[in-house]
Structure 1
Amino acid sequence: MERKPLRIALHPDASSQWIAGVLYVQTITQALLTVSKSDRPESHLLIRRSYDGSHYSALRKSANSIQIFDDDLGTNKLKRLEKWGRTILKNQPRPQTIEGCLRKTKADLILPCRESLGSQFNSPWIGWIPDFQHKYLPGLFSTQELESRDQKFQELIDDSTHMIVSSQMAYHDLLNYYKAEPENVSVYSFRTHADRVWFDSNPLKTANKYNLPEKFLMFPSQFWQHKNHLILLQAIAIIKERVQQDICLVLTGQDQDYRAPEHPNILKRYISEQGLDANVSYLGLLPRQDQIQLMRRACAIVQPSNFEGWSMLVEDSRALGKIVFLSDIQVHREQNFECAHYFEPTSAEALAQLLMDYWSSLKAGPDLEAEMRAREANTALMQRSGQKLMEICRKTLAK
Structure 2
Amino acid sequence: MRLKLRIEFLEDEQWLGGSIYIDNLLAALSSMPVGDQPDTRLVFLSSGETALARRMLRYPVLARQAAGRRAAGLMAHARRLHRAILRRAPALGAFWPAARDTVYFPAFDASQRWRTNLYWVPDFQIFHFPELFSAEELATRTRSIGEIAATQGVLLLSSHAALTDFRRFFPDATVVPRVWSFCSSIAADELGAGKQILESYGVPEHFVYVANHFWKHKDHETAFRALKILKDRKVIVRMVCTGLQSDRRDPGYYDRLVRSLTDWGIADQVTILGLVPRDHQIELFRAASLVLQPSLFEGWSTVIEDAKALGRPILASDIAVHKEQLNDLEQCHLFRAADANDMAERIEQVLPGSTAGPCVETERAAADRRDAARVASAHAFVAIANEAAGRAPKAG
**How far, CA to CA, are the matches of 1:282 and 1:72 in structure 2?**
37
Equivalence map 1:132-281=2 (5 Å): 132-159=124-151, 161-178=153-170, 181=173, 184-195=176-187, 198=189, 202-245=193-236, 247-281=237-271
How far off is 1:148 after superposition?
Answer: 2.0
Q: 1:325 aligns with which of 315, 325, 336?
A: 315
Q: Distance in 2 between matches of 1:112 and 1:160?
A: 16
Q: Cα distance, 1:258 vs. partner?
A: 1.1
Structure 2 residue runs of 5 or longer lacking an equivalent are 86-95, 392-396
Q: Distance in 2 between matches of 1:201 and 1:218?
A: 20
Q: How does 1:89-168 map to 2 (within 5 A)?
A: 108-120=102-114, 123-159=115-151, 161-168=153-160
CA contact (8 A) 1:118 1:160 kept: no
Contact 2:11/2:46 (8 A) holds in 1: no
Contact 2:290 2:351 in 1 (8 A): no
Q: Matches of 2:289 and 2:53 in 1, distance apart?
A: 30
CA 1:199–1:261 in structure 2 vs 1: closer, same or farther (change >3 Å)?
same
SS of equivalent residue, structure 2 residue 118: strand
CA RMSD of aligned residues (A): 2.5
Distance change (3 Å), C-alpha of 1:49 and 1:161? same
How many residue pairs end up in the alignment? 369
Larger displacement relative to structure 2 (277-286 or 336-345): 336-345
Residue 159 of structure 1 and its aligned partner are, at CA, apart by 4.7
1:380-391 maps to which residues of 2 (within 5 A)?
380-391=372-383
**Is the 1:119–1:158 contact (alpha carbons within 8 Å) kept by the matching residues of 2?**
no
Q: Which AA in structure 2 matches 1:263?
A: Y
Structure 2: how far apart are the matches of 1:364 and 1:243?
A: 21
SS of the aligned residue for 1:112 comes to strand
**Residue number in structure 2 paired with 1:60:** 57
Shift of 1:179: 5.6
Q: Say whether the 8 Å CA contact 1:203–1:366 is kept in structure 2.
A: no
Could you tell me whether the CA contact under 8 Å between 2:23 and 2:56 is conserved in 1? yes
Q: Is the 8 A contact 1:201 1:293 kept in 2?
A: no
Q: Relative to 1, partners in 2 of residues 1:159 and 1:201: Cα closer, same or farther, differing over 3 Å?
A: farther
Q: Which moved more, 1:276-285 or 1:111-120?
A: 111-120
- What whole-Å deviation, never above 9, does each CA across 1:125-144 have from its counterpart, x for those lacking one? 11100000111122222333
Q: 1:385 to 1:182 in 2, by over 3 A?
A: farther
Query: How far did 1:181 drift?
Result: 4.5
Partner of 2:28 in structure 1?
A: 31
Percentage identity across aligned positions?
Answer: 27
- 1:32-52 deviations in Å (ceiling 9; x for gaps): 112222121232111213797
Question: Which SS does the other structure have where 1:61 is aligned?
Answer: coil
Q: SS of the counterpart of 2:41?
A: strand
Residue 180 of structure 1: how far off its partner (Å): 5.3
Distance 2:123 2:253 in 1: 22
Q: Is the 8 A contact 2:152 2:174 kept in 1?
A: no
Which of 10, 15, 21 aligns to 1:18? It is: 15
Give the letter for the 1:243 counterpart: K
* Residue aligning to 2:346: 354
Deviations 1:206-259 (CA, angstroms, capped at 9, x unpaired) = 2111011111110011111100100001111122232233x2100001012111
CA distance in 2 between partners of 1:291 and 1:127 (Å): 30
- Secondary structure in 2 aligned to 1:283? strand
- C-alpha separation between the residues in 2 aligned to 1:169 and 1:359? 29
With over 3 angstroms needed to count, the CA separation of the structure-2 counterparts of 1:143 and 1:117, relative to structure 1, is closer
SS of 1:191's equivalent in the other structure is coil
Residue 305 to residue 330, structure 1, CA distance change in 2 (3 Å): same
- Alignment deviations for residues 78-110 of structure 1 (CA, whole Å, 9 cap, x no partner): xxxxxxxxxxxxxxxxxxxxx69x77xx97211
Matching residue within 261, 274, 280 for 1:290: 280
Match of 1:84 in 2: none
362, 367, 384: which is aligned to 2:359? Answer: 367
SS in 2 for 1:8: strand
3-state SS in 1 of match to 2:257: helix
Structure 1 unaligned regions, length at least 5: 77-98
- Does structure 2 conserve the Cα–Cα contact (< 8 Å) formed by 1:237 and 1:276? yes
Q: How big is each residue's C-alpha offset from its partner over 1:21-67, in whole Å with a ceiling of 9 and x where there is no partner?
A: 01001111111112222121232111213797444343232234244
Secondary structure of the 2:42 match is strand
Answer 1 or 2: higher relative contact order, Cα 8 Å, separation at least 6.
2
Instruction: Give the structure 2 partner of residue 303 of structure 1.
Output: 293
Return closer, same or farther for 1:159/1:60 CA change in 2, 3 Å cut-off: farther
Residue 93 of structure 2 aligns with which residue? none
Q: What amino acid is aligned across from residue 15 of structure 1 in structure 2? A: D
Which residue number in structure 2 is paired with residue 91 of structure 1? none
> Of residues 46, 50, 55 in structure 2, which corresponds to 1:49?
46
Query: Using a 3 Å threshold, how does the CA distance of structure 1 residues 202 and 251 change in structure 2: closer, same or farther?
Result: same
Give the SS at the match of 2:18: helix
- CA pair 163-232 structure 1, distance change in 2 beyond 3 A: same
| Paired amino acid for 2:354 | L
Distance across 1 between alignment mates of 2:205 and 2:280: 17
- Assess if the C-alpha contact under 8 Å between 1:249 and 1:281 holds in 2: yes
Secondary structure of 2:57's counterpart equals: helix
Q: Aligned partners of 1:160, 1:149: CA distance in 2, in Å?
A: 19
